[in-house]
Amino acid sequence: MPELPEVETVRRTLEAKITGRKITGVTVNQAASIKSPTAADLIARVRGMRFSTVRRRGKYLLIDLSSGDTMVVHLRMTGRLVYTPAEEPLPKHTHVIFHLDDGRELRFTDQRRFGCIWVMREDETGSLSGLCSLGPEPLGDDFTRKKLAQSLLGKKTKIKAFLLDQRNIAGIGNIYADEILFAGGIHPERPAGSLSASEINRLFTSIKDILHFAVEQRGTSFSDYVDGVGEKGSHQNYLKVYGRGGEPCFRCGTAISVTRVGGRSSHFCSHCQV
């Protein structure tokens, strides 16, 4: 599942490959993947343009074009954006293909069809719903201990649901929420506003440390995720709780619990997380 570390890895790998490449044409196999404008309008609008900067905000990729447009891509759960030689066979669920001037293609594939693409003027991206309401970037300088404490203040929602809400912090999904709460020793069902000062400190440090380490490991390839050149990450080898239901906690040996919190599966140690 692409979360911040995975999307950041896609951003880095794609930027190195597609910057300066010209789009010679676009094939749309699944028009529903394109949210705006229509598929026909998008094809006409990006043909002949070159990719410039590849940016990221939360789990959104923003790829600037030489025309002043920006292509916004959200991979959701099984989406992939991969730079591939044109002669390679098309994988199943290839919904959109950007043909490039170097004999390669940028392919958008998505088994579950939740991922989507928008093209709009760069100065209009700020009004895209979802993108415009994102909380701070957790690895950026503007995400501070103080800001985290303020956003937790008075919240009755469970801390797991708080972490998953992109309006609070941008980029955390189900895997990293569980890993962050384990690292911080905080039970996922604790009301967000009930955390003590020292727990907030631990949560803040865990958010930074876990996400930073996962980016270093080029993301978690638990099921579908690959980066912008089709390679898996290695962070799945370091998961402490996610996907480890029933297995012994690495810290205390207690079997890892799996329950549903905020409608999502949650993995935690009932002894280490209080």
User: Which positions are catalytic?
Assistant: 2-3, 59, 264
Q: Is 180 in the site for DNA (CB under 7 A)?
A: no
CA neighbor of 96 nearest in space, from 74, 86, 78, 81: 81
d(CA 216, CA 199): 25
Q: Which one, 64 or 110, has the nearer CB to DNA?
A: 110
Cβ at position 47, least distance to DNA in Å:
28
Size of the site for DNA (CB under 7 A): 33
Q: What mask, x for binding DNA by CB under 7 A, covers residues 98 to 137?
A: -------------xxxx--------------xx--x----
Of 137, 209, 264, 270, which one interacts with DNA (CB under 7 A)?
264
Of 1, 62, 119, 211, which one interacts with DNA (CB under 7 A)?
1
On whether the CB atoms of residues 160 and 188 are closer than 8 A, the answer is: yes
Q: What is the token pair recorded at 103?
A: 């004999």
**Dihedral (C-alpha) 26, 30, 33, 37: value to the nearest 10 degrees?**
60
CA neighbor of 244 nearest in space, from 274, 213, 267, 224: 267
On whether the CB atoms of residues 134 and 140 are closer than 8 A, the answer is: no
Q: What mask, x for binding DNA by CB under 7 A, covers residues 60 to 89?
A: --------------x-xxx-----------
Helical H segments across the chain, by residue range:
4-18, 39-46, 145-152, 159-164, 174-184, 197-216
Of 152, 161, 169, 269, which one interacts with DNA (CB under 7 A)?
161
Q: Is 173 in the site for DNA (CB under 7 A)?
A: yes
Binding residues (CB under 7 A) for DNA: these are 1, 3, 58-59, 74, 76-78, 92-93, 111-114, 129-130, 133, 155-158, 161, 164, 166, 173-175, 258, 260, 262-265
